[in-house]
Amino acid sequence: MTPKIARFLAEQNPPSPCLVVDLDVIAHNFKRLHKALPLAQIYYAVKANPAAEILRVLEGLGSNFDAASIYEIEQCMALGIGAQRLSFGSTIKKEPDIAAAFRHGVNLFAFDSPAELDKLARAAPGARVFCRIFMTGEGADWPLSRKFGCDVDMACDLLVRARDMGLDPHGVSFHVGSQQRDLKQWDVALGKTKMLFTALTEKGIELKLINLGGGFPAKYRTRVPTLDAYGEAIMKAMTEHFGNNLPQMIVEPGRGVAGDAGVIQAEVVLISTKSYDDKRRWVYLDIGKFGGLPETMGEAIQYRLKTPHDGGPKGPVVLAGPTCDEVDVLYDAAGYQLPLDLAVGDKIQIMAAGAYTTTYASVGFNGFPPLTSYYI
């Protein structure tokens, strides 16, 4: 936890639960990624944490922004971010939303299917478009496979069709999966990308752009390589496949920028066991899957926890949220241990919780309000 967040929690004693984001860490992460990949333009994935305070800091540092919906596009524009700095990266858009974005001046759109291409040709004539290719999500804690992208053969046909429909077939995108811990996955993706570039050159189309997606990590329970290691692996793969003739590169970090910048402070509501000889305590917090931690689904994202009794003897726990819903269990199989001295009323800090939390919180399930957040 940064001293700034620690001081805020100590001095303000905000109601629990809440998220506190240190904007200096947002700026630091952005700069580190820029340093690790100086040739790539950064498009912050707004959906990771769309707080205006974060967007303003990133805008000041020269970031561009990838929007997942017309609402995010309009939110960015309301903050004065120019349309030329926005991309509409969702592959699933309503035609009127494409038209609205194009009218606003947005000129970079994703697609992965013929029907989406038809919409783009009608609603954003002449626009720059890139085709998202399919990745398996292997090596990622939060895969983005199956639902997105198409195979290389199909992408090739679609990019030709984009040209024939009067669109500008600008490039290729992929996402290797969020919290991607296997650096080789970018090499796999860039191998496919190179095949596509070559196939299209033969058809008279020179693609200009590779969108390398997100996947950059936050620091959860499992150790991850440094951002520099990501940068090196990506540039090595880029030069291996493209030599000195490097296309323009884009990255779209969400988690890698916002994750480590935030800490959720929560409170222990109840500690119990289910029988007298139960070895594991159930620890119920005032935040759960519906309060902003749905990425614990399948125990996929495993946050680091801090308690006032760290360093003392520990025992195994099941960690659960406060709602009257059976699925509101955070960790059961993941083998979490917490101090034996932990008591009802203790504060617990959930580390690296700045991404995919606030906007994921339910509006009022069981009457609990959405997660409050502070940007300092």
Ligand X SMILES: *Cc1c(COP(=O)(O)O)cnc(C)c1O
Q: Which stretch binds ligand X (CB under 6 A): 98-106, 252-260, 291-299, 337-345?
A: 252-260
In this complex, which beta carbon is closest to ligand X, that of residue 231 or of residue 322?
231
Task: Tell me the β-bridge partners of 209.
Answer: 171, 248
Q: Which residue has the tokens 């390398």?
A: 212
In this complex, which beta carbon is closest to ligand X, that of residue 90 or of residue 373?
90
> CB 253 → ligand X: shortest distance, Å?
5
Q: Are strands 262-272 and 347-350 parallel, antiparallel or unpaired?
A: antiparallel
Residue type at position 220? Y
Position among 178, 265, 302, 323 found at the interface with ligand X (CB under 6 A): 178
In this complex, which beta carbon is closest to ligand X, that of residue 47 or of residue 194?
47
Position among 97, 112, 116, 252 found at the interface with ligand X (CB under 6 A): 252
Q: Are strands 18-21 and 337-339 parallel, antiparallel or unpaired?
A: unpaired
> CB 259 → ligand X: shortest distance, Å?
8
In this complex, which beta carbon is closest to ligand X, that of residue 214 or of residue 322?
214
- Scan residues 47-106 and list those touching ligand X (CB under 6 A): 47-48, 66, 89
Residue type at position 209? L
Position among 149, 171, 231, 254 found at the interface with ligand X (CB under 6 A): 254
Query: What are the residues whose beta carbons fall under 8 Å from the beta carbon of 364, sequence distance 6 or more?
Result: 370
> CB 170 → ligand X: shortest distance, Å?
15
- Scan residues 270-329 and list those touching ligand X (CB under 6 A): none
Task: Let me know how many helices (H) and strands (E) the chain has, helices first.
Answer: 10, 19
Give the H/E segment covering residue 161.
helix 152-164
Nearest to 65 by CA among 49, 87, 41: 87
In this complex, which beta carbon is closest to ligand X, that of residue 32 or of residue 309?
32
- Which residue has its beta carbon closest to ligand X? 214
Query: How many residues form the binding site for ligand X (CB under 6 A)?
Result: 16
Angle subtended at Cα 252 by Cα 248 and Cα 258, rounded to the nearest 5 degrees:
145
Residue burial 11-35, b: 16+ Cβ < 10 Å; e: rest: eeeeebbbbbbbbebbbebbebbbe
Separation between Cα atoms, residue 103 and residue 99, nearest integer Å: 6
Position among 169, 171, 247, 253 found at the interface with ligand X (CB under 6 A): 253
DSSP secondary structure code for residue 15 in this structure: P
Position among 215, 231, 292, 294 found at the interface with ligand X (CB under 6 A): 215
Position among 50, 137, 143, 214 found at the interface with ligand X (CB under 6 A): 214
Which residues carry out catalysis? 324
- Altogether, the residues listed in the chain come to a count of 376
In this complex, which beta carbon is closest to ligand X, that of residue 247 or of residue 256?
256
> CB 241 → ligand X: shortest distance, Å?
21
- Scan residues 328-367 and list those touching ligand X (CB under 6 A): none
Give the H/E segment covering residue 131.
strand 128-132
- Distances in Å between the alpha carbon of 332 and those of 4, 15, 42, 55, 191? 32, 27, 37, 35, 39
Note the Cα 209 to chain centre separation in Å. Answer: 21
- Scan residues 14-53 and list those touching ligand X (CB under 6 A): 45, 47-48
Residue 175 makes contact with ligand X by CB under 6 A? yes
In this complex, which beta carbon is closest to ligand X, that of residue 81 or of residue 348?
81
Give the interface with ligand X as residue ranges (CB under 6 A).
45, 47-48, 66, 89, 175, 178, 213-216, 252-256
